[in-house]
Amino acid sequence: MRLLSFRCRDSRQSLGRIDFGQLANAIESPVGPKDPVTGIPQTPHKLVLNLFADVVHPCVSGGAVVDATNEGLVSDCGMLLAARDTLAGTASLNWSADTPITEWNGVALGEASGRVTEILLVGMGLNGRIPPELGGLSNLTGFRSGTVDGEIPPELGRPRPT
């Protein structure tokens, strides 16, 4: 049996194994096995998506980022989710892997890049602090926070390559 192993890019943690023979047979056949819940035969694409559901970034699997090929936006989404609670404090933001990033309060995407370019949080009652994760948003050109407390992390002031 040939197994295909998946590992997380940033660590040595295994993300799982798939029997390569079964995967190849499913892709080659016009209809895959029946869905265990509905009993309807799965198309190869749906079968592959189901097999990889646990290794897809939460921003993609939850629907926040529709275009999984926009790796930069997927990364931006992950950084914003990591920063959300620190930034909000006791207030709340609607930033969630289950909500399209285009609907997130205060987040603007650049037309050309499709990446996060601005975060405008004035008047939202946030009382947290500015998290250093925001420094990883390489296309960020504007940030306004209103009542968010604390110092500006040095990560936000780093020059970005052009």
DSSP label of 71: H
Token code pair at residue 10: 């940033």
Rounded CA separation 144/162 (Å) = 23
Q: What are all long-range contacts of 76-82, with beta carbons under 8 Å and residues at least 24 apart?
A: 76/101, 76/115, 76/116, 76/137, 76/139, 77/101, 79/133, 79/134, 79/136, 79/137, 80/104, 80/107, 80/116, 80/133, 80/134, 80/137, 82/131, 82/133
Render pLDDT for 144-161 as a digit per residue (tens, 0 to 9).
Answer: 887 777 777 777 766 555
pTM, entire model: 0.64
Render pLDDT for 25-43 as a digit per residue (tens, 0 to 9).
Answer: 444 444 555 555 555 555 4
Say which CATH class 71-157 falls into: alpha beta
What residue ranges do the domains of the chain occupy? 3-55, 71-157
